[in-house]
A = this chain, B = another copy of it.
Amino acid sequence: MRTLGIGLLGLGNVGSGLVKLLEDNAEAIAARLGARLEVRRIAVREVDKPRMVEVDRSLVTTDVEAVLADPAVQIVVELVGGEVAAREFVLGAIERGKHVVTANKALLAAHGDEIFNAAERRGVDIFYEASVCGGVPLIRALRDGLASDKIDEFIGIVNGTSNYILTRMADEQRPFDEILADAQAQGYAEADPGLDVDGWDAAHKLCVLCSLCFGARVPVTEMLVDGLREIAPIDFDYARRIGCVLKPLVIGRDHASDIEARVHVAMIPERWLLATVSGVFNGVYVSSQALGPSLYYGRGAGMMPTAVAVVSDVIEVARDILSAASSGLPLRLRIRDWRERPVRPRGELVSRFYLRFRVRDRPGVLAELDGVLAREGIAVREVSREVGETVILTTQAAREQAMQRAFEGFARIDAVLERPRLIRMMD
């Protein structure tokens, strides 16, 4: 039986999970594939660091170049993360005719075009199932399962840390900072949580999904990206009262003219399936023309879930190698026609809004707030004067730019004690 060689870049959590899965399931994989898979070189930053799995020390090196150049390596698995070094390594692997499996959404979001083009020129595969929703085979579902369909829209919960924090805030009625600190202590959030709670990790994944679903390059810098630092327990109370929950969403829509791409917390009806996606779990709702709605759910992070996705990709690349599929066929990632599609400007995006104000407790404030909104053409839907200084106000659908101008108006109202908080609403 033939053996295919894997070169592993990075031996952290996911790399260790990969080594473990390949060992534990070696027989099953060989039976399925008709070939063996073997990790032949492993590049790490520190050779002597303690690892979660036992590996043959002679395989381990700090020299990435040695891994990429090794003729016994056919498949390079990039698990170093980040954008700069990873880009160099992945392009280096492609250059040497190696197929690449990566879990790196930041890399794909920043340099996807360059990498996919290089791979196409060189006739090698790039697989990236683990980059979105961890072990949930979402990329496969969209790429192969819906290959004959046209995707119109997807709405996803793709950042487990954000979902975990919002779920616990809802359950325990405690403020963001406390829950974040807890999550950090338990390892559910990074010491530097910005990538997760400010929406950038989700934005990277949204970028990958827009490429895959719409064939559109949507730079992260052109998306509406908003995090969850300003959400407070009172927002959950209000949401509950109107039958909603708060979820950290990515939303992609293919309008005839342009692509809508946004990352933010939203109030969604509790009867939606996505409303039941809780804790660290991920879920993506997809709407396509022939199939209609479908949904994919599971763990979006963690050592073994992510490793499952990486190894499944490795198996598929190995199949392609064994059948020489990659010699002439177009890359699998090019599921849709790839076109330069305009991105809908942030200011043009439309939502209903929930606004929470802290105001001086005196008569006439509501008229002032409504006045500001009315000047921007925004209609108020409901007003709720909470205890003390809090006023909550929801609006009809309005453009982001109109709301932004309204915020300038609010700033000029004496009775408004601080910048209002804003949550977008969906129904």
Q: Taking the complex as formed, is A25 at the interface, i.e. its CB lies under 8 A from any CB of chain B?
A: yes
Determine how many copies of this chain the complex contains: 2
- 17 CB < 8 A contacts A-B: A22-B148, A25-B149, A27-B337, A28-B337, A34-B329, A34-B330, A135-B290, A137-B140, A140-B140, A144-B315, A288-B308, A292-B298, A292-B299, A293-B297, A294-B298, A320-B323, A323-B329
Top 6 nearest A-B pairs (CB, nearest first) are A137-B145, A294-B298, A323-B325, A148-B311, A135-B291, A295-B297
Residues of B within 8 A of A307 (CB): 148, 290
- The smallest C-beta distance from A166 to any residue of chain B, in angstroms, reads 17
Q: Complex: how many Å from CA A293 to CA B146?
A: 22
The reply to whether B312 and A147 form a contact with Cβ atoms under 8 Å apart is yes
Q: Taking the complex as formed, is A3 at the interface, i.e. its CB lies under 8 A from any CB of chain B?
A: no
The reply to whether B34 and A315 form a contact with Cβ atoms under 8 Å apart is no
Q: Complex: how many Å from CA A97 to CA B336?
A: 31
The listed residue (B17, B129, B294, B295) touching A135 by CB distance below 8 A is: B294
- The smallest C-beta distance from A243 to any residue of chain B, in angstroms, reads 14
The reply to whether B322 and A329 form a contact with Cβ atoms under 8 Å apart is yes
A residues 92-106 in Cβ contact with B at 8 Å: none
Q: Complex: how many Å from CA A21 to CA B293?
A: 17
Q: Taking the complex as formed, is A276 at the interface, i.e. its CB lies under 8 A from any CB of chain B?
A: yes
Q: Taking the complex as formed, is A304 at the interface, i.e. its CB lies under 8 A from any CB of chain B?
A: yes
The listed residue (B29, B149, B296) touching A148 by CB distance below 8 A is: B29
Give A142's nearest chain B residue, CB to CB. B137
A residues 9-65 in Cβ contact with B at 8 Å: 17, 21-22, 25, 27-29, 31-34
Q: Taking the complex as formed, is A70 at the interface, i.e. its CB lies under 8 A from any CB of chain B?
A: no
**A125-167 near B? 1/0 per residue, CB < 8 Å:** 0000100001111001100111111100000000000000000
Q: Taking the complex as formed, is A383 at the interface, i.e. its CB lies under 8 A from any CB of chain B?
A: no
A residues 296-335 in Cβ contact with B at 8 Å: 296-299, 304-305, 307-309, 311-312, 314-316, 319-320, 322-325, 327-330, 334-335
The reply to whether B334 and A31 form a contact with Cβ atoms under 8 Å apart is yes
Q: Complex: how many Å from CA A309 to CA B294?
A: 13
Q: Complex: how many Å from CA A32 to CA B144?
A: 10
Give A331's nearest chain B residue, CB to CB. B32
Q: Taking the complex as formed, is A417 at the interface, i.e. its CB lies under 8 A from any CB of chain B?
A: no
Residues of B within 8 A of A84 (CB): none
- The smallest C-beta distance from A36 to any residue of chain B, in angstroms, reads 13
Q: A140-B141, A145-B129, A315-B147 are in contact. Are A291 and B320 (CB under 8 A)?
A: no
Q: Taking the complex as formed, is A273 at the interface, i.e. its CB lies under 8 A from any CB of chain B?
A: yes
